Structure 1
Amino acid sequence: MELSGIESKVALITGAAQGIGAEVAHTLALAGAHVALADTNAERLTTAVAKIEAAGLSASGHPVDVRDSDAVEALAQQVEAEHGPIDILVNAAGVLRTGRAVDLADQHWNEVFAVNATGVFHVSRAVARRMLSRRRGAIVTVASNAGGVPRVDMAAYAASKAASAHFTRCLGLELAPSGIRCNVVSPGSTDTPMLRSMLGELTDPAILITGSAEAYKIAIPLGKLAQPSDVAAAVAFLVSDQAGHITMHDMYIDGGAALHV
């Protein structure tokens, strides 16, 4: 199926310097959008933008910390002033801190929520305000299947992703009368730098595929990890015209690992 409604649009993607965010940016650029990549890591951001531009596609880089609401507002202003109205927003910025809930430091809990939940709020608010005046737009938040299924050692991350997902659905309900669609994608284990940092010295991902009874984690029925491109393809569909009657949906992209209804 050829997707339409992305070409010539401006798409803002946070967390776009690597992993899922970078793959989303590349996928939307291939579909004809100008992609504005935002991230805190300026060096990796430059590399990601250069890779897209080397393919003859349209991209720009914008260093920003989504925890800073003033910086996010300035980002939205800059992108629209330089490239035109933002019609697509993808919230892909995220951080991970693992540990048992009873052992979590306040700092780690606050760090995770500041980016994964409050950051989504800051960026979505800044962009949605502009979309409202134009009565068009599509927003997708990258959450996690951990937001719907309890995970050992992931209380902060799981709770923050549940918060961002439900915020996005509430936002979608408020924006629906203006024709603005808000959806969520919830990946499971995906081969990204974040996943590899969580595994540490464990280089064999088989344990993620086969599951762990000790951690109450089911195997992945499809028998493989997701690739960033799997998630990016779902995001591209949700922001396209082909998903024009889909809003407030949470699409699990986890090979069946959550046994999600």
Structure 2
Amino acid sequence: MSAAGLQGRRALVTGAGRGIGAAVVRALVEEGVRVVATDLDGAHVEELAGELGERVTARRLDVTDAAAVQAVVDETETELGPLDIAVNVAGILRDAPVAELTDADWAAHFAVNTTGVFHVSRAVSRPMAERGRGSIVTVASNAGGIPRANFAAYAASKAAAVMFTKCLGLEVAGRGVRCNTVSPGSTMTDMQRALWTAGEEEASVRRVVEGDLASYRTGIPLGRIADPSDIADAVVFLASDRARHITMHDLYVDGGATLRA
């Protein structure tokens, strides 16, 4: 029996090919959820579906393409049944000081991290609201709540995604749809490793955990970098009926790194 009470429900997850997205798919499948796993890299979600079996349907999806998003949602609702859960995980990070940030990189952050969330949430919230039930969870970042050097585009796009999700939550609360965000801190993913110097993983982990005074970055009070499953567990909770009286909430899962600034 599903510990979270999600047995038999259906979910759409973006950015599911690896990292947090893949962990969310695994966690939902463990709870008995049928998942449509989407990613710009179709090969990765096909591999995930092969690993997890018939409860996972793989679809290539570019969340910046509104028509493609709507098509996947329509197809899912027709072939698998009404969506109960949607999880926005797809995101990009290209770190650079503002003075060196290109127009293209700025636009790309918002296209994926913010507009992608808008496209998916709009598409799924319409039928959810008509049915009077549903849960939308957006994976944002603790960078959306505290300034970070070289992260201006990423942080701004994630902060925008949080506020968008809260506004949507207010609009659909009266129709039984809950909208929440999970804001991870440093998590052991490919995105995290891409920020480190090659061959210095141990030293890089230590810098993240201990903090960096030169960049005005606090450490992690709990003394560890998150595993993707830590974030997935928070997503599953917010998606479940155990969080039935929670909406428009931003849950930080960062080991205390931001001191909840």
1:3 touches 1:240 (CA, 8 Å); kept in 2?
A: no
Aligned to 2:244: 244
2:88 touches 2:139 (CA, 8 Å); kept in 1?
A: yes
The one-letter amino acid paired with 2:201 is: T
1:185 touches 1:252 (CA, 8 Å); kept in 2?
A: yes
Number of residue equivalences: 257
Q: Provide Cα deviations, 1:61-105, integer angstroms capped at 9, x if missing partner.
A: 010100000000001011111111011000000000100012100
What SS class does the counterpart of residue 140 from structure 1 fall into?
A: strand
The one-letter amino acid paired with 2:145 is: G
| Matches of 1:194 and 1:78, distance apart in 2 | 30
Once the two structures are superposed, the pairs formed by residues 138-177 of structure 1 within 5 Å of their partners are 138-177=135-174
The one-letter amino acid paired with 1:100 is: P
The two structures have a TM-score, normalised by structure 1, of 0.96
Q: Does residue 121 of the first structure (1) align with residue 118 of the second (2)?
A: yes
Percent of residue pairs bearing the same amino acid type: 49
Moved more, 98-107 or 200-209: 200-209
Q: Does residue 197 of the first structure (1) align with residue 171 of the second (2)?
A: no
Q: Provide Cα deviations, 1:227-247, integer angstroms capped at 9, x if missing partner.
A: 000000000011111111000
2:11 touches 2:84 (CA, 8 Å); kept in 1?
A: yes
2:179 touches 2:248 (CA, 8 Å); kept in 1?
A: yes
Identify if the C-alpha distance between structure 1 residues 111 and 200 changes in structure 2 by more than 3 Å, giving closer, same or farther: farther
Provide the alpha-carbon RMSD of the alignment: 1.0
Once the two structures are superposed, the pairs formed by residues 1-261 of structure 1 within 5 Å of their partners are 3-53=3-53, 58-201=55-198, 202-204=200-202, 205-260=205-260
Displacement of 1:48: 1.2
| Matches of 1:75 and 1:102, distance apart in 2 | 38
Displacement of 1:200: 4.1
In structure 2, runs of 5+ residues without a counterpart are none
What SS class does the counterpart of residue 198 from structure 1 fall into?
A: coil
Displacement of 1:3: 3.4
Q: Provide Cα deviations, 1:33-56, integer angstroms capped at 9, x if missing partner.
A: 001101010111111111111xxx
What SS class does the counterpart of residue 107 from structure 1 fall into?
A: helix
Q: Provide Cα deviations, 1:105-159, integer angstroms capped at 9, x if missing partner.
A: 0000011110000000000000001101101000000000000000010000000
1:3 touches 1:241 (CA, 8 Å); kept in 2?
A: no
1:138 touches 1:182 (CA, 8 Å); kept in 2?
A: yes
Identify if the C-alpha distance between structure 1 residues 37 and 230 changes in structure 2 by more than 3 Å, giving closer, same or farther: same
Q: Provide Cα deviations, 1:171-208, integer angstroms capped at 9, x if missing partner.
A: 10001000110000000000001111122414121111
| Matches of 1:122 and 1:183, distance apart in 2 | 16
Identify if the C-alpha distance between structure 1 residues 218 and 40 changes in structure 2 by more than 3 Å, giving closer, same or farther: same
2:4 touches 2:236 (CA, 8 Å); kept in 1?
A: no
| Matches of 1:61 and 1:7, distance apart in 2 | 20
| Matches of 1:169 and 1:240, distance apart in 2 | 18
Instruction: Give the 4+ runs in structure 1 shifted more than 4 A.
Output: none
What SS class does the counterpart of residue 214 from structure 1 fall into?
A: helix
| Matches of 2:162 and 2:239, distance apart in 1 | 16
What SS class does the counterpart of residue 16 from structure 1 fall into?
A: coil
In structure 1, runs of 5+ residues without a counterpart are none
